[in-house]
Amino acid sequence: MPKGYIIAHITVRDPDAYREYVERDTPILEGLGGRFIVRGGRSEIVEGDTHDRHVVIEFPSYDAALAAYNDSDYQEVAEIRRRTADSVILVVEGMDR
């Protein structure tokens, strides 16, 4: 079964307030089976336009990733992100190898 991923592209508008989102979302998403594999590290735009920060969270399946995003505890914390940053969030299915 292919893994599932939450991929986020984010531009933080209020770094101090955004820190609370990072502190609170991590235990929720990890508790739902997520594993952060990219989280705001160094990046360079080599083609096109995008946000400043990138996050990739791996889950055991697409359904698990979608369920984690829709989880009520996560959605409560996601309101902090929505207030403090501009973002594009995707749930995608990985390749089955």
* CATH, residue 67: 3.30.70.100
Q: Are 51 and 59 in contact (CB under 8 A)?
A: no
Q: Is 62 helix (H, G, I), strand (E, B) or coil?
A: helix
The pTM assigned to this predicted structure is 0.93
Which pLDDT score, from 0 to 100, does residue 40 have?
Answer: 87
> Could you tell me what percent of the chain has a pLDDT over 90?
91
Number of structural domains (the chain) is 1
Cα separation, 96 vs 27, in Å, equals 27
For residue 59, the enclosing domain spans 4-93
68, 59 Cβ separation under 8 angstroms = yes
**Mean pLDDT of all residues in the chain?**
96
Banded model confidence at residue 64, pLDDT cuts 50, 70, 90: very high
